[in-house]
Amino acid sequence: MSTLLFQSSHCAGDILILTGTPGAGKTTAARRLVLHPGVPKVHLQADDFWNAIGTGLIPPYLPEAHVQNAVVARVLAAAAGGYASAGYFVIVDGIIGPWFLAPFRALSNPLHYAVLRPPLETALRRCRERGSGAIGADAIESLHAQLSALGELDRHAIEVDGMAPEEVAAALLEATESGRLRL
């Protein structure tokens, strides 16, 4: 069933926001999805948009970065909308919490939102293993707590504890295809 998603034209022009804490498996899942056969796909890594800021970059996890982060979210949404409007299925991979969904919701493209939720210990271990020293354990714990309390958006969460990357990608395909992730 999941192989039908990208082989049918109904997802051309759709945007999937793939979020979660650092170490949740977002980039790994996005890389698998973008290589899936079917309609043309684009993988936008949100980190690239933050890293494009040279002078004046404020680490995005700091409270004083809110204005900067809102700008990046608007630019990222505009890029996603541009690709989607040209018929690409766009996978936006990054920490896009509900507080930054407004510019994506303003687009006319169908929008899907998935929150990968590993156990906190898993996220912390993965970040340690890959040497992600830029963001500390306190920030990861805070993001994990925020993305674990989604309220009405909780149906967009995918619990990934113990899942292999292929299983995460398959779960994303199924949830997107079913409409469960649609905003």
What does the pLDDT look like over 49-79, one tens digit per residue? Answer: 999 999 999 988 888 999 999 999 999 999 9
**What is the mean pLDDT of the segment spanning 13-29?**
92
In the predicted structure, residue 83 carries a pLDDT above the cut 60: yes
pTM for the model: 0.88
pLDDT in tens, 131-164: 755 677 888 888 888 888 889 999 999 999 989 9
Extract long-range pairs of 107-110: CB within 8 Å, 24+ residues apart.
107/15, 107/77, 107/80, 107/81, 108/81, 109/13, 109/14, 109/15, 109/80, 109/81, 109/84, 109/85, 110/13, 110/14, 110/15, 110/182
Contact (CB, 8 A) for 50 and 72: yes
Angle separating helix axes 120-129 and 137-147, nearest 10 degrees: 140
Tell me, what's the pLDDT at 4? 43
